[in-house]
């Protein structure tokens, strides 16, 4: 062990609010952050001239963040981010979900096909380049084509003669553009993960809640070739030597301490028009919550009855329940904070500013009225698209049928299609999906108007007398997806003549039923919905430009779009409601208290109980207690899962994994008195690695500051 002693919003932006672009910290934020306690320079955080914190951050997989914690490629992220990899290595005989997994040497680390780790190498603004060749005489379609051409040329230039990839993303609703250049590693091996009873302690009972007692972490190692560059998995690959890794701050935290988070927040909509917020509260979220409640109840019943099904559906269940509970928190938070009224007040302020100047009226007049018109017109189409996604396409066989049809249409090989099906069947159980299918179809037809009802409704009401279970039973009995011999014959036909194979596939009852829905939605809703979305996007672009002009003396932070961001705040307790105050930290004592309540989500390993009873906390405990989690006021979102929570010197204090229920609204409306990010304390992580898992050898490659 190496021991080492652009802008704020239309309302006043608090120090904790905002997801800032790292390359602009010197211009906008660094002074305020240093006043708040930061002891680093902007170059220490983001630089193309020196190693910096950006170089210790990664995109983990497709939707999480991770951080490097050693010179030998060791990486930390959340348990729930590594969950899919842990699940794929699990079986009833080797149940790593239940028992945990720890490689006691690099040779025991487990490879993960398809898992990637991606580093941001640099970013740059390309707004002017994206506007090249565009003039005021072009119609929107011509503008879009020219911008796509410009984008392709910019990306090509950034990726020539190297192994990098690049993306260009709009910011401020298309008022600015930035390019991000990445390096991606594909040899990523599982090093360690605690049992689910630690890594997911509290499970759905505690998800999105505080107080929290979850050891939500997992460990991986990035491997590279002999030149320290990305390479496909090979036993001869060596641990990657990152440009930067984080030191570990094991000295603890106190209320009021400066904290900062870097990572990849997925999506926020801070500048939504009031009608959009109202629709979210009153229509779209309640519908989605109801549909997912049904799916979760069905999955849970089967998972409790069969361990094989439990393992197969563990990751799926978690994915469905995560948004389900979050949406309930959003409704709670936005309602308590009167978010619609706040938006209306902001819009009145904007209207007054607009009407105070004739030139402004010429530039921006009608933007609010256009919002009102567009959202009113979009209502039924938005509901149709939401119902399609949350009911019809929530059916596993329906979703897989669409995927296979797409693969066939793209001319993919028989072998690739069969591999895709093998992966699908590994975690598929017909009774679960069939019951969900019946429930989702019934929900769709009960809630949608006749204009959006495909022909199969007549068959259900006629031949099956409204019995959705009987209709679904017939579908699932006849489809090739549940008959391996028929599927092989279909693949034989596809291999000999792809066109005939595709035509036969389209006649399958599952495929035909999915097509009825998708064809109808595309005909009745798709074109109108797409046009309205385009008009909304253009109106938001105008609105955002106006806001930036209105608030030109302040900084307006851009919405999250899964690009690297920086946020700062402090360790901070909060009062969720009258008479209730939550402390800023939790301890292992709270784990033990919950374990006595008898809930299945609060089961703990016997060894953890023994360590608690003997107070064997090593150097990680404080005054006879073992810290577990803490909260801070950093503005985070989905995608920040796994993000490092750092102190004023850029050392790792903990791993971000959640937000409090009252604060899930922060994607739409941030309230510094309520919104908190939840992190597992790095001392608990070290304690689990050392005392619980006995993998203290891993600590020897970390730089731990006591």
Question: Any idea which residues carry the catalytic annotation?
Answer: 80, 216, 641
d(CA 209, CA 197): 17
For the chain, helix (H) and strand (E) counts, in that order, are 27, 23
DSSP string, 431-446: HHHHHHHHHHHHHHHH
d(CA 50, CA 243): 9
Task: Spell out the residues 6+ positions from residue 219 whose beta carbon is closer than 8 angstroms to its own.
Answer: 74, 75, 76, 190, 191, 192, 193, 689, 698
DSSP string, 577-592: ETTEEE-SEEEHHHHH
Q: How many CB atoms lie within 10 A of CB 578?
A: 5
| Residue 48 backbone dihedrals phi, psi, to 5 degrees | -105, 0
- Where residue 522 falls (left for φ over 0; alpha for ψ -120 to 50; beta otherwise) is alpha
| Residue 565 backbone dihedrals phi, psi, to 5 degrees | -135, 165
- Where residue 135 falls (left for φ over 0; alpha for ψ -120 to 50; beta otherwise) is beta
250 exposure class (CB count in 10 Å sphere: 0-12, 13-18, 19+): buried
Cross-strand pairs, 627: 587
Q: How many CB atoms lie within 10 A of CB 296?
A: 17
C-beta of residue 38 within 8 angstroms of C-beta of residue 647: no
d(CA 602, CA 184): 38
Alpha helices in 456-525 (DSSP H): 456-462, 468-478, 484-496, 498-506, 509-524
């Amino acid at each position: 062990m190496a021991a080492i002693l652009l802008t704020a919003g239309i309302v006043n932006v608090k120090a904790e609010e905002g997801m800032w672009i790292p390359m602009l910290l010197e211009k906008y934020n660094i002074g305020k952050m240093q006043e708040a306690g930061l002891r680093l320079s902007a170059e220490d955080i983001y630089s193309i001239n020196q190693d910096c914190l950006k170089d210790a951050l990664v995109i983990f997989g497709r939707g999480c963040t991770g951080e490097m914690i050693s010179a030998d490629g060791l990486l930390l992220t959340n348990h729930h981010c590594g969950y899919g990899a842990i699940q794929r290595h699990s079986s009833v005989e080797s149940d790593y979900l239940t028992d945990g997994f720890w490689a006691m040497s690099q040779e025991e680390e487990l490879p993960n096909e398809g898992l990637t780790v991606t580093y941001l190498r640099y970013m740059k603004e390309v707004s002017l380049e994206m506007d090249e060749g565009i003039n005021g005489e072009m119609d929107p379609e011509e503008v879009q084509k020219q911008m796509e051409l410009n984008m392709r040329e910019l990306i090509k230039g950034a990726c020539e003669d190297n192994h990098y990839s690049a993306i260009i993303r709009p910011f401020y609703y298309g008022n600015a553009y930035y390019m991000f250049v990445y390096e991606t590693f594909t040899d990523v091996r599982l090093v360690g993960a605690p049992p689910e009873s630690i890594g997911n302690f509290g499970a759905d009972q505690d998800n999105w809640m505080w107080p929290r007692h979850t050891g939500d972490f997992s460990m991986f190692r990035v491997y590279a070739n002999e030149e320290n560059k990305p390479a496909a998995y090979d036993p001869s690959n060596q641990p990657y030597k990152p440009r930067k890794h984080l030191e570990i701050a094991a000295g603890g935290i106190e209320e009021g301490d400066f904290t900062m988070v870097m990572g990849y927040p997925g999506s926020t909509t801070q500048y939504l028009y009031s009608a959009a917020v109202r629709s979210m509260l009153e229509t779209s979220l309640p519908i989605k919550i109801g549909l997912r409640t049904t799916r979760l109840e069905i999955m849970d019943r089967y998972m409790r009855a069969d361990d094989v099904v439990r393992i197969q559906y563990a990751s799926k269940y978690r994915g469905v329940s995560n948004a389900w509970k979050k949406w309930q928190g959003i409704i709670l938070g936005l309602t308590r904070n009167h978010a619609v009224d706040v938006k209306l007040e902001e819009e009145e302020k904007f209207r007054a500013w607009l009407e105070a100047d004739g030139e402004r009226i010429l530039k921006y007049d009608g933007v609010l009225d256009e919002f009102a018109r567009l959202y009113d017109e979009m209502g039924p189409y938005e509901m149709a698209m939401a119902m399609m996604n949350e009911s019809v396409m929530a059916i596993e066989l329906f979703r897989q049928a669409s995927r296979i049809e797409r693969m066939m249409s793209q001319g993919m090989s028989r072998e690739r299609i069969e591999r895709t099906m093998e992966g699908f069947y590994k975690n598929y159980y017909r009774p679960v999906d069939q019951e969900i299918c019946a429930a989702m179809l019934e929900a769709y037809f009960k809630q949608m108007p006749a204009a959006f009802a495909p022909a199969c409704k007549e068959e259900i009401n006629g031949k099956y007398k409204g019995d959705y279970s009987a209709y679904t039973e017939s579908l699932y009995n006849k489809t090739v997806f549940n008959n391996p011999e028929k599927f092989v014959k279909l693949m034989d036909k596809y291999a000999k003549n792809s066109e005939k194979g595709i035509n036969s596939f389209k006649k399958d009852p599952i495929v035909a039923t999915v097509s009825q829905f998708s064809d109808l939605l595309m005909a009745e809703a798709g074109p109108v919905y797409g046009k309205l979305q385009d008009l909304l996007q253009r109106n938001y672009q105008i609105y955002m430009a106006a806001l930036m002009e209105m608030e030109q003396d302040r900084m307006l932070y851009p919405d999250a779009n899964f690009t690297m961001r920086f946020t700062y705040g402090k360790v901070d307790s909060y009062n969720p409601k009258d008479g209730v105050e939550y402390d800023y930290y939790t301890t292992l004592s709270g784990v033990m208290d919950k374990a006595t309540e008898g809930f299945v989500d609060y089961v703990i390993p016997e060894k953890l109980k023994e360590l608690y009873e003997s107070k064997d906390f090593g150097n990680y405990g404080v005054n006879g207690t073992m810290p577990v989690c803490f909260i801070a006021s950093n503005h985070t979102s989905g995608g920040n899962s796994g993000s490092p929570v750092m102190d004023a010197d850029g050392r790792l204090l903990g791993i971000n994994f959640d937000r409090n229920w009252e604060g899930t609204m922060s994607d739409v409306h941030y309230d510094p008195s309520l919104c908190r990010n939840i992190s597992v304390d790095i001392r608990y992580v070290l304690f689990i690695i050392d005392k619980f898992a006995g993998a203290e050898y891993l600590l020897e490659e970390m730089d731990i500051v006591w």
